[in-house]
Structure 1
């Protein structure tokens, strides 16, 4: 028996799984990674096209309702592409603008996905330029991704039960 608290072919049970699904539906010209900053520092030298990196959340909050628990991880999402730094900054400025446009496409896709409450209002971004070992340019956002549907906590619940996994 599969557990809906985890991703499976019928239900995306994690915030990361929902983000991954949104990115994969954005098209083949975008890569996706889920990792921490140290892993990204190594992995980004292998990217060949614009990449969305969902940074492994260090912590977050649970919202506990009467029938379900929703996860509110502290999210950081980076939009990066490889570059050769030019000292005039013209090319990198254009790449930053392209990554901002990719970010806007992602926000639109998140809002249309139905997985999360609509992102609205002010959302700060930071330009990622010359911060990692690999030459990448991009932007990083820290949105609050509030799940529309969490994990049920009703009787006969689908909440993680380690004993259930051992019996499979």
Structure 2
């Protein structure tokens, strides 16, 4: 627990609030209602509210980093379209599944970067990369887990079928 004396802290805050006028605390852009002083009505001065500025929505100075992250993620996602090995079973399938997971993580990484730098279009592209990685991964994983219909390209199992045996040689008759 904290060793602070909260009663003393609250007393300091109350003292600070007491030193500020109510008009300053409740400043509005409208005129303050007139008050009666000594039997006559006196108009109170208008008090303008302090100007509040919203956070800038423009990209920040390091926005180029967000674009570089998106370029890397989009490049990796496009590279999956040109995967050089057939990913039907065994090691190539595991490699392709790992690559789709990596693309989804790259998309997430670039989405975080573009969110920080307020890059709307780049953020949408990053989220599309995440979806693309997840869709390609699901296309390979779901038939193998029983949630989708297996095809000849995407069989039921992760491993390759065993060879059917040694070829037989017909006996030579003499």
Tell me the TM-score normalized by structure 2: 0.27
Q: Which has the higher strand share?
A: 1
Q: Which has the higher helix share?
A: 2
Which is higher, the Rg of structure 1 or of structure 2? 2
